[in-house]
Amino acid sequence: MIAGCVDRWALCSQNTKLRSICRPEVARRVIAVIITAATLISIPLFVFFDNSSGLCAIKPAYNLAYVIFALIFIGILPPILMIIFTLLARHNLIRTRSRVQATGGTRQSIHIHKRDHHLMKMLIGEVLVFCMTTCSYPAITMYNYLTLPIKAYKSPLRLAIESLVGFIIQPLLTYTYCATQFYGK
């Protein structure tokens, strides 16, 4: 998603060197780097989780490390980078539109304006859906970590509510984001 925002920012740029990175061969290299980086970033997860009890759970010694990991790589970096590159793409489109003055409202200028408007709506929609669905996971992870010392004092109803909220946030919203389609005609 971040790479897509960077690609749209570069595509809207007036700088020809930036626009030149929007080629299929560059995209293939970026995809290979993303797959490698995602694999390397996920390696600590093998250390954080334990399956010896039959349930996949975070080892107590790594709770804080996992919370920090989730905050940085899910809750902070992706939304900030997506927002920055979306705003930069918007800035590039506004700057380009102000420099290009069509004579007499031609059909082509109206088509370009609509295309730019749809691109910005799509970018902003993707970032909002990501923030609403995926960024809540680090928040619930941090909440669970911070309230761990008082878990023995929680009522069964409160534990059930927290479990339900965790179930809704963790798999349901994350899969909702993955299934949300922004591309069409």
C-alpha 130/C-alpha 4 separation (Å) is: 13
Q: Which residues of 164-183 are buried (b: 16+ CB within 10 A; e: fewer)?
A: eeeeebeeebeeebeeeeee
Q: What is the pLDDT of residues 86-122, one digit of tens each?
A: 899 888 888 877 765 555 555 555 555 677 778 778 8
pTM of the model: 0.76
Closest CA to 171 of 140, 127, 144, 125: 140
Segment 158-162 shows an average pLDDT of 90
What does the radius of gyration of the chain's CA atoms come to, in whole angstroms? 21
